[in-house]
């Protein structure tokens, strides 16, 4: 059964929404009054990075304590997709950790996370390791990358999305050419098609430069040292062809361009970097509401870290009847709240009927058209997403040091984006005034919407001199 929490701001179209952050705050109050069960988690990556997080669970005899297995699993799930790692050390009661390990071995949702984190992303066996005390956990160690903000020379920057791709030619920080082309890469089975499309994109930009000194790109998915670990863009490619051809497709492209500096990172990271460059500030959490949810983070000292920041898979809603992510099969994950999928899910409660054969991008356009005509039903969809965002911002602030939240992506286009942002601010002011005082929401300028991501991507590599 759901543990009930009472939200002060209720989503107009989703009254049953049970924000994860309110559960965490309820647990904090119980622990403060009655004591609790200390829990410490260390998430380990193959490059030696270790991220640590400590919290408490309610006493076992408290009514909330009946859900401690659930609370621990949700916490670890969030840490997995926020930090990323293949070996998870947990200092908590051993029986509880044993049940957590069983979740990753014997349930479909747990197996999905274990397979992606272990076999696909970090290429190591996935492990849950019990630690008797926090002192037995490996020490925290964060490796941050000094990527970005390099604007010298002639560069190409690209951004690969699920429904369109963008490329720009950048000379000494100025965009001299850019184009945006619709595409549907997730439907393409042939790796050669992907290679040819990417090469044509790069040649299109190169034609507007006297030379090409460096190439930088952002793309949906997980990338380690320019290698594709997991990416929905290549979803239709068979496992064998993915391993033999797609995994190193960007290294193959780099070789074709004479091994010039070439960097590809997750699109969320470039979103955050573009925001930091535009704002001339740091501690930026970029959230792109597009075909999925893409998130990136720039630290207070202006760096990109080795964190995954794949918050599309991170739980934001703790109700038992939360919407299901079609890929992982899990409940209440960010993708169902901050993407075109959220808009599609809210059509029926809003009372908007659209043909079933319409794609999600087409449905979004129709809702945005209704919004421009003053349709209250469309407004209710963006109001609801805004409430989601406000509560999720407070949740994210538990795990990230945030001064600036940058919202962008197709869902935020037009008046709907302003409604989302204003509603999120309302939630923070009402529920979390201390966060409202220190976190600012931003949206890109029209220039940054057109060129910001490409410029930031182009700035990733450092040109060797």
Read off the tokens for 231. 């990416």
pLDDT level of residue 144 (50, 70, 90 thresholds): low
Q: Between residues 266 and 193, which one has the greater pLDDT? A: 193
Domain coverage including residue 110: 20-136
Let me know whether 212 and 123 are in one domain: no
**Whole-number pLDDT of residue 79:** 98
State in Å, rounded, how far the first CA of the chain is from the last one: 62
pLDDT of 273 > 80? The answer is yes
* Boundary residue ending a domain (219, 237, 269): 269
- Could you tell me the maximum CA-CA distance found in the chain, to the nearest angstrom? 71
Q: Of the candidates 122, 186, 227, 160, which has an alpha carbon nearest to the alpha carbon of residue 327?
A: 186
Cβ-contact 269, 304 below 8 angstroms: yes
Let me know whether 399 and 301 are in one domain: yes
pLDDT of 398 > 50? The answer is yes
pLDDT of 147 > 80? The answer is no
Let me know whether 309 and 245 are in one domain: no
Share of the chain above pLDDT 70, in %: 97
Q: Of the candidates 437, 445, 341, 328, which has an alpha carbon nearest to the alpha carbon of residue 388?
A: 341
**Whole-number pLDDT of residue 431:** 98
| pTM (whole model) above 0.85 | yes
| Mean local confidence (pLDDT), 406-423 | 93
Let me know whether 251 and 288 are in one domain: no
pLDDT level of residue 163 (50, 70, 90 thresholds): confident
* Boundary residue ending a domain (236, 269, 302): 269
pLDDT of 259 > 60? The answer is yes
pLDDT of 3 > 70? The answer is no
**Whole-number pLDDT of residue 409:** 84
**Whole-number pLDDT of residue 149:** 86
**Whole-number pLDDT of residue 1:** 39
- Mean of all residue pLDDT scores within the chain: 93
Partners of residue 51 on adjacent β-strands: 43
pLDDT digits (tens, 9 = 90+) for 350-393: 999 999 999 999 999 999 999 999 999 999 999 999 999 999 99
CATH code of residue 256: 3.30.420.40
* Boundary residue ending a domain (99, 114, 136): 136
Residue 4 lies in a domain: no
Let me know whether 206 and 281 are in one domain: no
pLDDT digits (tens, 9 = 90+) for 174-232: 999 999 999 999 999 999 999 999 999 999 999 999 999 999 999 988 888 899 998 88
Q: Measured on CA atoms in the order 456, 81, 163, 405, is the torsion positive or negative?
A: negative
> What is the DSSP pairing of strand 440-442 with strand 404-408?
parallel
Q: Between residues 465 and 330, which one has the greater pLDDT? A: 330
Let me know whether 264 and 282 are in one domain: no
Most confident of 272-281, 303-312, 343-352: 343-352
67, 298, 462 from 146: Cα distances, Å: 41, 11, 9
- Write the Ramachandran bin of 418: left for phi over 0, alpha for psi from -120 to 50, otherwise beta: alpha
Residue 13 lies in a domain: no
Read off the tokens for 227. 């290698």
Residue 464 lies in a domain: no
Cβ-contact 191, 185 below 8 angstroms: no
Let me know whether 324 and 234 are in one domain: no
Let me know whether 93 and 159 are in one domain: no
pLDDT digits (tens, 9 = 90+) for 287-303: 989 888 989 999 998 88
pLDDT digits (tens, 9 = 90+) for 58-116: 999 999 999 999 999 999 999 999 999 999 999 999 999 999 999 999 999 999 999 99
Q: How many domains does the chain have?
A: 3
Let me know whether 125 and 26 are in one domain: yes
Let me know whether 313 and 439 are in one domain: yes
Contacting residues for 464 by C-beta, under 8 A, at least 6 apart: 261
């Amino acid at each position: 059964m759901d543990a009930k929490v009472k939200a002060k701001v209720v989503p107009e179209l989703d009254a049953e929404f049970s924000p994860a952050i309110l559960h965490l705050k309820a647990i904090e109050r119980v622990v403060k009054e009655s004591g609790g069960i200390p829990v410490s988690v260390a998430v380990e990556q193959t490059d030696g990075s270790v991220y640590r997080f400590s919290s408490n669970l309610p006493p076992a005899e408290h009514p909330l304590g009946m859900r401690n297995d659930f609370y621990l699993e949700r916490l670890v799930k969030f840490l997995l997709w926020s930090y990323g790692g293949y070996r998870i050390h947990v200092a908590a009661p051993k029986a509880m950790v044993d049940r957590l390990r069983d979740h990753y071995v014997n349930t479909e949702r747990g197996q999905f996370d274990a397979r992606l984190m272990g076999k696909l992303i970090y290429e190591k066996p996935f492990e849950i390791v019990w630690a008797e005390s926090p002192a037995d956990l490996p020490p925290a160690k964060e490796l941050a990358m000094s990527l970005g903000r390099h604007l010298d020379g002639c560069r190409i920057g690209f951004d690969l999305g699920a429904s369109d791709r963008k490329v720009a030619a950048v000379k000494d920080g100025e965009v001299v050419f850019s184009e945006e082309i619709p595409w549907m890469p997730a439907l393409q089975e042939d790796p050669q098609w992907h290679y040819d499309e990417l090469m044509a994109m790069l040649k299109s930009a190169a034609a507007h430069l006297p030379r090409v000194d460096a190439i930088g790109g952002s793309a949906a998915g997980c990338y380690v040292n320019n290698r594709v670990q997991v990416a929905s863009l290549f979803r239709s490619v068979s496992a064998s062809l993915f391993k033999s051809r797609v995994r190193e497709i960007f290294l193959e492209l780099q070789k074709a361009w004479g091994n010039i500096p070439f960097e590809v990172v997750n699109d969320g990271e470039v979103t955050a970097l573009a925001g930091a460059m535009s704002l001339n500030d740091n501690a930026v959490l970029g959230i792109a509401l597009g075909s999925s949810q893409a998130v990136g983070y720039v630290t207070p000292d202006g760096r990109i870290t080795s964190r995954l920041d794949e918050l599309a898979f991170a739980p934001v809603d703790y109700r038992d009847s939360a919407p299901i992510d079609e890929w992982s099969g899990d409940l209440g994950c960010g993708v169902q709240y901050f993407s075109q999928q959220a808009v599609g899910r809210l059509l029926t409660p809003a009372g908007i009927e659209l043909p079933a054969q319409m794609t999600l991008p087409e449905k979004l356009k129709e809702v945005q058209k209704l919004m421009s005509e003053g349709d209250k039903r469309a407004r209710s969809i963006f109001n609801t997403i805004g409430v989601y965002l406000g509560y999720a911002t407070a949740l994210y602030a538990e795990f990230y040091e945030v001064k600036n939240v940058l919202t962008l992506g197709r869902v935020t286009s037009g008046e709907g984006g302003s409604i989302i942002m204003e509603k999120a601010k309302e939630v923070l002011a009402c529920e979390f005034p201390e966060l409202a005082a220190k976190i600012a929401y931003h949206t890109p300028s029209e220039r940054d919407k057109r060129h910001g991501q490409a410029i930031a991507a182009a700035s990733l590599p450092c040109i060797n001199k």
